[in-house]
């Protein structure tokens, strides 16, 4: 019976790791889209996305932590806001509050 609980812990740890890395990849995709909108140059947006992947805080994005989900929801919300989809961006910002408590500060984007 002990092996079942240790197997369950291993599966939970692995699934958390995989889900965070998937959220990180989607955060990079939304960051690239946002960079294309703001910078207007695809080459510069690609460089910015590569720098986002290799920043010193990327250790938090690839570990079991809420940072990658928060980055996905915040950057996705800003991307939708810049695209003109205000209702969708409000939903993304509201979901970012569920990932991290400082997501409340994202309401400033809507107010601005």
Structure confidence by residue, pLDDT tens digits, 52-66: 888 888 888 788 888
**CA angle at 20 for the pair 28 and 43, rounded to the nearest 5°:** 10
**Each residue's pLDDT tens digit, 63-72:** 888 888 899 9
pLDDT at 1: 59
**Each residue's pLDDT tens digit, 19-36:** 999 999 999 999 999 999
Segments making up each domain of the chain, as ranges = 2-111
- CA-CA distances (angstroms) from residue 22 to 18, 27, 100? 6, 9, 18
What confidence tier does 76 reach under pLDDT thresholds 50, 70, 90?
very high
């Amino acid at each position: 019976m002990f092996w079942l609980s240790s197997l369950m812990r291993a599966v939970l740890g692995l699934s958390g790791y995989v889900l965070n890395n998937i959220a990180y990849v989607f955060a990079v995709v939304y960051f690239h889209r946002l960079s294309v909108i703001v910078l207007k140059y695809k080459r510069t947006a690609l460089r910015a996305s590569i720098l986002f992947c290799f920043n010193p805080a990327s250790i938090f994005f690839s570990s079991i932590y809420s940072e990658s989900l928060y980055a996905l929801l915040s950057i996705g919300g800003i991307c939708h806001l810049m695209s003109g989809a205000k209702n969708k961006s409000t939903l993304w910002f509201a979901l970012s509050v569920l990932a991290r408590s400082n997501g409340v500060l994202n309401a400033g984007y809507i107010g601005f």
